[in-house]
């Protein structure tokens, strides 16, 4: 998800998306550990997206 897309969302939508992303990251990490998921970069991209969302959320709450 791009930062521009995240900035268009409301604070509540960002919080819901962060929660969903954390759950998806947990599931993907478990799938990688068990060998069901071969694409290790998927979890890296998820962590980066979560960081983007948290950054935009912080910017919105400070302003």
- We report the CATH number of the domain holding residue 7 as 1.10.287
pLDDT in tens, 3-37: 999 999 999 999 999 999 999 999 999 999 999 99
String of DSSP letters for 28-54: HHHHHHHTS---THHHHHHHHHHHHHH
| Cα Dmax for the chain | 44
Confidence of residue 55 (pLDDT cuts 50, 70, 90): very high
Residue 63 pLDDT greater than 80, yes or no: no
pTM score over 0.85: yes
- Could you give the number of structural domains in the chain? 1
Residue numbers of the domain that contains 15: 3-62
Residue 1 DSSP class: -
């Amino acid at each position: 998800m791009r930062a521009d897309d995240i900035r268009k969302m409301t604070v509540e939508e960002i919080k819901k998306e962060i929660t969903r992303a954390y759950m998806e990251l947990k599931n993907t990490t478990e799938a990688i550990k068990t060998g069901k998921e071969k694409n290790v970069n998927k979890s890296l991209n998820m962590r980066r997206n979560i960081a983007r969302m948290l950054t935009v959320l912080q910017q919105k709450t400070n302003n």
